[in-house]
């Protein structure tokens, strides 16, 4: 869930005493789980002031879903860093 992804990202940031924490959770496949369809994936990025959560609905194989989720995570991080550079 989005709440789980948010909590995981926040705890990763706190545990590693870092500026950012990122998390991935959901159903990569091959079958649905807890009423969630395959490809329902949540990616969260936690900073010291905010947490952004993406809800993805991918319709691919398990490995593809995992790889695409990581790409979305990299892009979320990239956009966050670009925003930080632009505001300074």
Task: List pLDDT tens digits, range 37-61.
Answer: 999 999 999 999 999 999 999 988 9
Q: Is residue 32 very low, low, confident or very high in pLDDT (cuts 50, 70, 90)?
A: confident
pLDDT at 33: 82
Cα 70 to Cα 78: distance, rounded to the nearest angstrom: 12
Domain count, the chain: 1
- CATH assignment at residue 30: 3.90.950.20
Q: Give me the helices (H) in the chain, please.
A: 2-15, 62-86
Cα 64 to Cα 70: distance, rounded to the nearest angstrom: 10
Please give the residue range of the domain that contains residue 69. 2-86
Spatial contact of 51 and 18, defined as CB atoms under 8 Å apart: no
């Amino acid at each position: 869930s989005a709440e789980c992804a948010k909590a995981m990202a926040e705890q990763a940031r706190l545990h590693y005493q870092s500026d950012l924490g990122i998390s991935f959770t959901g159903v990569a496949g091959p079958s649905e789980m807890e009423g969630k369809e395959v490809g329902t994936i949540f990616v969260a990025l936690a900073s010291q002031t905010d947490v952004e959560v993406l809800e993805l609905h991918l319709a691919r194989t398990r490995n593809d879903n995992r790889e695409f989720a990581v790409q979305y995570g990299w892009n979320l991080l990239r956009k966050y860093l670009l925003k930080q550079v632009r505001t300074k």
